[in-house]
A and B are shown apart, each in its own frame.
Chain A
Amino acid sequence: MSLVKWTPRTTLNLRNEFDRLFDSFFNTEEEETSLAAFSPSVDIMEKEKEFLITAELPGIKKDDIKMNIRDNVLTVSGEKKQEKKTEKDNFHRTERVYGSFQRSFRLPDSADQENISAEFKDGVLSVTIPKLKESISKSIDIKIK
């Protein structure tokens, strides 16, 4: 028997493992397991002509959110800064989490990467990814002989 190096899996890793198993569209990417302080919750939806990703980012300024696409992977990252009113650390309760965040999603082939739009409202980032026209109209009739 040979010794195999044991690689510990964090919860995020486990999620990525599952994603890889199913190899779904929008599976989250490995780079997500970087040193991010938290992972915002997301909903990913689809309708006839578009995909929609909504991410919860309460208390974050629009300018502190970055979005980019590289090799078909859409990455949302940024930093959530704690707004202290005073220099003193006089907290009675601290349940909120601050720091850097990052989420990445592999885009499906039908995504029109040139026309992605995003809106930030009430602490929720909504990313609309239209589908390419040819992928919407692609309807193949199969004749039964």
Chain B
Amino acid sequence: MTITHWIPRSSLIDYQREIENLLDSFFGSGPEEETECAISPSVDIEELEKSYSINIELPGVNKKDVSINVNEDILSIEGEKKPGKDTNKYKYHRRERTYGKFHRSFRLPDIVDTNSIDAVFKNGVLNITVPKRKEDLSKNIEIKIK
């Protein structure tokens, strides 16, 4: 019997990623999504006829503190949620909100146009529209039954 190196799994997120990698799903988490982040914002991803609509909950986050980028087929959203400017003047009775860095990333499907991704920040929700490529929309291949 040989001794194999044991790689500990730090969290459930790692497991989730393992499973996603196995399934190799569209919009599975990207490889570089950090697990040390203080916050993991909730995300909905909806597929529409001509695009994908990604909605990320980022309440109280300043637009300037968010960056979105695409590297090959990985879409990354990262930034920092900072407490309000004057909050250091207050003493806390209750602190349920969490602040700090966040990072989410998703593997994009092949059919998207990464050059025309659009983002809008409204009411604490970041909406990213990832359009599908036009040629893929019209691609209609008929398969004959012999």
Q: Which A positions have Cβ atoms within 8 angstroms of B? A: 24-26, 41-47, 51-52, 54, 56-61, 84-86, 90-97, 122-124
Contact = CB atoms under 8 A, between A and B. Distances in A.
Given A52-B90, A85-B53, A93 B96 contact: no
B46 A59 contact: no
A92 B94 contact: no
25 contacts: A25-B93, A26-B94, A41-B97, A42-B94, A43-B95, A44-B93, A45-B92, A45-B93, A46-B93, A51-B93, A54-B97, A56-B60, A60-B123, A85-B48, A86-B46, A91-B45, A92-B25, A92-B27, A92-B52, A96-B42, A122-B62, A122-B121, A122-B123, A123-B124, A123-B125
Contacts, number: 108
Contacts of B96: 41-43
What interface size band does chain B fall in?
A: 35 or more
Nearest to A125: B59
Given A44-B94, A54-B97, A95-B43, A59 B48 contact: no
Interface of B: 25-27, 42-49, 52-53, 55, 57-62, 84, 87, 89-98, 121, 123-125
Given A44-B93, A58-B58, 14 more contacts: A26-B93, A41-B97, A56-B124, A58-B124, A90-B46, A90-B48, A93-B43, A93-B44, A93-B45, A94-B44, A97-B42, A122-B59, A122-B62, A122-B121
Contacts of A92: 25-27, 45-47, 52
A42 to B, nearest CB: 5
B60 A91 contact: no
Nearest to A50: B90
A57 B84 CA distance: 16
Given A57-B59, A96-B44, A44 B26 contact: no
Contact of A44 (B27, B44, B84, B92): B92
A44 B58 CA distance: 19
